[in-house]
Amino acid sequence: MRFGIVVFPGANCDHDAYHVAKHVLGQDARFVWHKDRDLSGLDCVVLPGGFSYGDYLRCGAIARFSPVMEEVVSFAAKGGKVIGICNGFQIALEAGLLPGAMLRNRSLKFVCKDVHLRVENGNTPFTKGIAEGTVLRMPIAHAEGNYFLPDDELARLEGEGRVAFRYVDAAGQVTDAANPNGSRNNIAGILNAKGNVLGMMPHPERLAESVLGGEDGLRIFEALLGS
Ligand SMILES: NC(=O)CC[C@H](N)C(=O)O
C-alpha cells in the first residue's frame, strides 16, 4: 500500500506516521509537501498531527487553504482513503471533508494523556478486523478536541454509523469522566458519508510499537492494509 504523509508547516507527527507506514509495516510511503499537488499513485493520504501555522485563528483553519488540500478533497471524492489525525482531523473538518467543528477543550487546557477508545463501527477501512466494542488505548495531545455537531446532524451521524470511536473508561463504558475534552457523545473519531475519510483526535501512530509501550495504534494501520 502506498501512503502519502502531508507535511504542513508546524506538523510534528508527520515522521511518526511515516515511520509506522514505512518501517513498522514495511509499506511504501512518501512525504507530500503542502504546496505540492501530486498525489499520484497513493492509496492513503495521512493528514498528520501537529500545530500547523501555530494554531492561529483556529487549529487547521489556515492549513485548510494549503494547495495540497484541493487535491486531497478530490482524492477523497474519488474514493481514496484519507486519515486525519488530531491536527489532521481539525484540518479535515475545516476543509469540509468531515462534518462539524472543534471547540477548545472544556477544561480550556491542553490535555496530554492516554485514553481508552471503543470501536463503534468495525466495518470501515480503518477498523476492519477489529470487533465492535473493542477497547483500544491511545494517547491524546490537544487543546481543541471538543467535537461539536448540532443535534440534528449528530443524530444523523450516529444513525449512519459514522462514529468510529468513542472515549470510554477502561471497562468500555461511556462516562463523562472518560471524556477528556467535552466532545459531544464522547466522540473521538468520525467518518465521512462514503466511509473513506476518517478523522480522529487520538494518535494511533504514537502507540504502534511495543517498545513505545503498546501496539493498539498499529491496528488502525493494519486494518487499512487489509481493506
Ligand atoms: N497533537 C495535535 O495534533 C495537536 C492539535 C492542535 N494543535 C491542538 O492543540 O488541538
pLDDT single digits (tens) 115-144: 999 999 999 999 999 999 999 999 999 999
* pLDDT tens digits for range 149-198: 999 999 999 999 999 999 999 999 999 999 999 999 999 999 999 999 99
**Is the pLDDT score of 41 beyond 90?**
yes
Centre of ligand 1 to C-alpha 78, Å, is 28
- Give residues with Cβ within 8 angstroms of 13, minimum separation 6: 48, 49, 50, 85, 86, 87, 203, 205, 206
CATH number for the domain harbouring residue 141: 3.40.50.880
Entry pTM: 0.97
The alpha carbon dihedral of 29, 88, 206, 161 has a sign of negative
**Is the pLDDT score of 226 beyond 90?**
no
- Give the domain range for residue 208: 2-225
Chain center to CA of 33: 19
Which atom of ligand 1 is least distant from the CA of 203? 1
Which atom of ligand 1 is least distant from the CA of 86? 3
Q: What is the mean pLDDT of residues 12-38?
A: 98
Number of structural domains (the chain) is 1
Which three cell numbers mark 223?
486494518
DSSP 159-175: HTT-EEEEEE-TTS---
Average pLDDT, the chain: 97
Q: What is the mean pLDDT of residues 100-110?
A: 98
Instruction: Write out residues with Cβ below 6 Å of ligand 1.
Output: 49-51, 55, 59, 86-87, 141-145
Centre of ligand 1 to C-alpha 204, Å, is 14
Given the residues 13, 44, 59, 86, select the one marked as catalytic: 86
59 is catalytic: no
